[in-house]
């Protein structure tokens, strides 16, 4: 097995007295698709935010591409250039067109020439069926389209790891499919991803590893076949009976 791309070791995070992450240990290898499942408040989003250093961890180690990034001497911006993130509420910049949203970081952070950045963005937008919306402003688009743009925006910096934080939670059921379709494409192309999701069917289909979080702990992790059909923990079983139909 190859060395892990991302490694979290006994990561802890608390807000005041409330422990949000409690000794979370997680390995992500290249081409893995890790799905974090669990009820709201179980720590999925906090874990993602700690992984790309939007939050400082209170203890434990995070390693990315072989380097410890939880060290305060590490420049978070360097890490984030290699790690894309997509949020639940899209968080597109409303004052910029779709194309400008996608070329902002490549041009301003990575110093890519305007032409090159736009070519790359147009190509990706076309791949994901957004060719007609390149010059529109985000508010003109549907939720599903906006979230697809947000995905493209994250991909335009060519990150080695993609973090997706419940990216379909704000969408209509019929729009969920178009966004998950993209994530499925990305998974098939070998993109390494960590995603927090409530879409169990999707997790079962694309995940290489499923982690069940409860009260800030990864209670159990394994291949989807095992977690969904034969969970080891009673809590996992309870959660799954509540969220799975039938």
Partner 1 sequence: MTDRQPSDRELERRRVRRQQRTRSLLVASGAIALVLAALVTVLVSAPGWDRFRETFFDWGYAKDALPDIRDGFWLNVKLFLICEVAILAVGLAVALARTARSPLLAPFRLLAVVYVDIFRGVPTVLLILMLGFGVPALELQGVTSDRYVWAGVALVLSYGAYVAEVFRSGIESIHPSQVMSAEALALTRGQTMRFVVVPQAVRRVAPPLLNDFVSLQKDTALVSVVGVFDAVFAARDTTGYTFNYTPYVVVSVFFIAITIPLARLTDWLGRRALERERAGVR
Contact pattern from residue 7 through residue 26 relative to partner 1, giving x for each residue in contact according to CB under 8 A and a dash for the rest: ---x-x----x-x--x----
Q: Dihedral sign, CA of 47, 64, 54, 11?
A: positive
Q: Which tokens belong to 226?
A: 């095992």
Q: Is 39 exposed, middle or buried (0-12, 13-18, 19+ CB in 10 A)?
A: middle
Looking at 61, 96, 104, 240, which residue binds partner 1 (CB under 8 A)? Answer: 61
Per-residue binder mask for partner 1 (CB under 8 A), 146-185, x = binder? ----------------------------------------
User: Please, what is the minimum distance in Å from the beta carbon of residue 46 to partner 1?
Assistant: 10
Residue from the set 30, 60, 76, 143 that interacts with partner 1 by CB under 8 A: 60
Number of residues in contact with partner 1, rule: CB under 8 A?
15
Round to whole Å and give the CA distance between 128 and 122: 10
- Asked if 59 is part of the footprint of partner 1 (rule: CB under 8 A), the reply reads yes
Q: How far is CA 35 from CA 48, 58, 106, 112, 147, in A?
A: 11, 23, 28, 32, 18
Tokens of 13: 């995070």
Given the rule CB under 8 A, which residues bind partner 1? 10, 12, 17, 19, 22, 54-55, 58-61, 70-73
């Amino acid at each position: 097995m190859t060395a892990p791309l991302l490694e979290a070791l006994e990561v802890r995070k608390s807000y005041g007295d409330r422990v949000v992450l409690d000794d979370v240990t997680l390995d992500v290898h290249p081409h893995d698709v890790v799905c974090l499942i669990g009820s709201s408040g179980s720590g999925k989003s906090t874990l993602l935010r700690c992984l790309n250093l939007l939050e400082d961890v209170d203890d434990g180690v995070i390693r990315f591409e072989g380097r410890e990034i939880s060290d305060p001497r590490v420049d978070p911006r360097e890490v984030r250039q290699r790690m894309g993130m997509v949020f639940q509420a899209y968080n597109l910049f409303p004052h910029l067109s779709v194309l400008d949203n996608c070329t902002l970081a490549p041009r301003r952070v990575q110093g890519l020439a305007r032409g090159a950045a736009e070519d790359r963005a147009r190509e990706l937008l076309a791949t994901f069926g957004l060719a007609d919306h390149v010059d529109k402003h985000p508010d003109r688009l549907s939720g599903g389209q906006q979230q697809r743009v947000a995905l493209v925006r994250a991909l335009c910096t060519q990150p080695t790891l993609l973090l997706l934080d419940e990216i379909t939670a704000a969408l209509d059921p019929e729009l969920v499919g178009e966004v998950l379709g993209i994530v499925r494409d990305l998974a098939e192309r070998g993109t390494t991803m960590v995603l927090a999701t409530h879409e169990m069917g999707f997790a079962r289909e694309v995940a290489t590893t499923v982690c069940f979080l409860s009260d800030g702990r990864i209670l159990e992790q394994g291949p989807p076949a095992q977690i969904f059909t034969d969970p080891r923990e009673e809590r996992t079983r309870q959660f799954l009976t509540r969220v799975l139909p039938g």
